[in-house]
Amino acid sequence: MSEGIEMPKDFLWGGAVAAHQLEGGWQEGKKGVSIADVMTAGSNGVARKVTDGVKDGEIYPNHWGNDFYHMYPEDIKLFAEMGLKCFRTSIAWTRIFPNGDEEEPNEAGLKFYDDMFDKCLKYNIQPVITLSHFEIPYHLVKEYGGWRNRKMIDFFDHFAEVCFRRYKDKVKYWMTFNEINNQIDFRDPHPLLQDSGLEMTDEDNWEEVMLQAAHYEFVASAKAVQLAHKINPEMQVGSMIAMCPVYPLTSKPQDIMKAERAMQYRYFYGDVQALGFYPEWMEKYRDRKGYDLDITNADLATIKAGTVDYVGFSYYMSFTTKAHDGETHFDFDEHNDLVSNPTVPKTDWGWQIDSVGLRYGMNWMTTRWHKPLFIVENGFGAHDKLEADKTIHDDYRISYFHDHILEMEKAVKEDGIDLIGYTPWGFIDLISASTGEMKKRYGMIYVDQDDEGNGSKNRYKKDSFYWFKKVIESNGKDLGTDIQK
Ligand code: BG6
């Protein structure tokens, strides 16, 4: 045994994925086309393209994922062997409503999730479900302009209601929108498309469109919370925030103010969903920028009445920023205002590795929102090597998890954070959301498949598989890095 702290009884150790990144079977069971189905393969530093429909000659990695759609019965057995108590995935909207605007749901899609959830429950693994994880029906993007359109609120809530009613006895924990605050980087077309299905034109003010879309999402999310409670008061509905704390580069007061504004800007989404109102500075900001958003009093009442039960969040890295010379407003433009933190290392993809940032973020959120937290993503994207004897020695990943889990445990034990669970991201290798690569691997389970979808698709246990199994068995107490296979 070494150095860990035992977590509270009933702590949910698990693993996290998203439907479009692992299921494949993109045309099976009458599934429709989602935004992820028209995103091509990119690579480290080469952005994915979004094509106007599926085009011959392009590579679309989400079409095959890691083939979980066909392989889930065996995969879930492996999850059980690892000792998982919960499995976070999403319901692909396009399996339930292929176009997104139908009245009647697609029974084949509903049945797929029924069967898959039953398989999990047979092993005492509870499904934890995100409703919208970067997989908006493409039809809603083309026909309605995605979340720039108020009609999306009804489409989403219809989808949510169908899922709540169907799975009310199988799923307790839900989340509405994955990393809703990712789109704060509005100059990067990917978050806008992935989160909200927003295609921008030259006439658009991107930030204004993004803020409008986020507002409709807040209303839809708040309605979903209320719907869920009506259907089954036991159901818990959370937000899902990408927590990357933003540090000032120096102790210069201007840098501190810049970082403070960055935190306000990145996390006002959390304020609205957890506290039920827009922060004061945001109203001033919108006025100063001359934005004229469609926000009604009825919307604000809905938002107030539908605050989330808990805050789900991802944590991969921290950010660092500094003020520009002579700045007075300290507005944060994520695309241009991040600088490298010289005190922390980085992954091969340039993500800053900072385990203390996890504890910092947990404290920051609890002090501000006073809601239970749920770490629904955390992980280390790295190049792995499959040895001739089919072993994978990923000590770098074990070391990343060791450090982060220890900080998480201190946050619970020493800081009093109310934490529901911990689900490491992509614990079975899958398609990267930002690059479309397979070789950016997060898994504790290796999937033998390359970036083009070639390979046996066989699953192999990495060293981290055995390590995490031991962590779960000891309920977080044994973080020793020795492995027993
Ligand atoms: C989060 C997303 O942004 O980070 C996941 O919720 C994503 O969908 C994960 O896969 C890791 O990012 P990436 O780009 O390395 O796959």
Tell which atom from ligand 1 comes closest to the C-alpha of 435: 14
DSSP symbol at 202: T
In a domain, 283, yes or no: yes
**Are 94 and 31 a contacting pair, CB within 8 Å?**
yes
Report the percent of the chain where pLDDT is more than 90: 96
- Centre of ligand 1 to C-alpha 434, Å, is 6
**Are 414 and 363 a contacting pair, CB within 8 Å?**
no
DSSP symbol at 66: T
DSSP symbol at 211: H
Q: Which residue's CA is the nearest one to ligand 1's atom 15?
A: 432
Q: What's the pLDDT tens digit per position in 69-90? A: 999 999 999 999 999 999 999 9
Catalytic residue numbers? Answer: 377
In a domain, 3, yes or no: no
Q: What's the pLDDT tens digit per position in 194-248? A: 999 999 998 999 999 999 999 999 999 999 999 999 999 999 999 999 999 999 9
Q: What's the pLDDT tens digit per position in 443-478? A: 999 999 999 999 999 999 999 999 999 999 999 999
Residues in a beta bridge with 447 = 459
- Centre of ligand 1 to C-alpha 18, Å, is 9
Question: For residue 383, what is the domain's CATH number?
Answer: 3.20.20.80
Residue 240 DSSP SS3? strand
In a domain, 4, yes or no: no
CA quadruple 111, 116, 122, 126: dihedral sign: negative
Q: Which residue is listed with tokens 């009245």?
A: 103
Number of domains in the chain: 1
DSSP symbol at 40: -
| Strand-strand pairing, 445-447 and 459-461 | antiparallel
Write out the residue range of the structural domain in which residue 319 sits. 12-473
Spell out the SS3 assignment of 111-146.
HHHHHHHHHHHHCCCEEEEEEECCCCEHHHHHHHCH
Q: What's the pLDDT tens digit per position in 241-279? A: 999 999 999 999 999 999 999 999 999 999 999 999 999
Mean pLDDT of the chain: 97
In a domain, 424, yes or no: yes
Residues in a beta bridge with 128 = 88, 173
**Are 457 and 66 a contacting pair, CB within 8 Å?**
yes
In a domain, 484, yes or no: no
**Are 98 and 62 a contacting pair, CB within 8 Å?**
no
- Centre of ligand 1 to C-alpha 35, Å, is 15
In a domain, 481, yes or no: no
CB-defined site of ligand 1, < 6 Å = 18, 21, 134, 178-179, 242, 314, 377, 381, 425, 432-434, 440
Tell me the residue length of the chain.
485
CA dihedral 381, 447, 472, 347 (to 10 degrees): -10
Q: Measured between alpha carbons, how far is 144 from 71 in angstroms, rounded to an integer? A: 35
Residue 90 DSSP SS3? strand
Enter the tokens of residue 358.
């996890």
Enter the tokens of residue 215.
């507002």
In a domain, 482, yes or no: no
Q: Measured between alpha carbons, how far is 231 from 336 in angstroms, rounded to an integer? A: 45
Confidence of residue 187 (pLDDT cuts 50, 70, 90): confident
In a domain, 478, yes or no: no
Q: Measured between alpha carbons, how far is 368 from 340 in angstroms, rounded to an integer? A: 27
Tell which atom from ligand 1 comes closest to the C-alpha of 381: 15
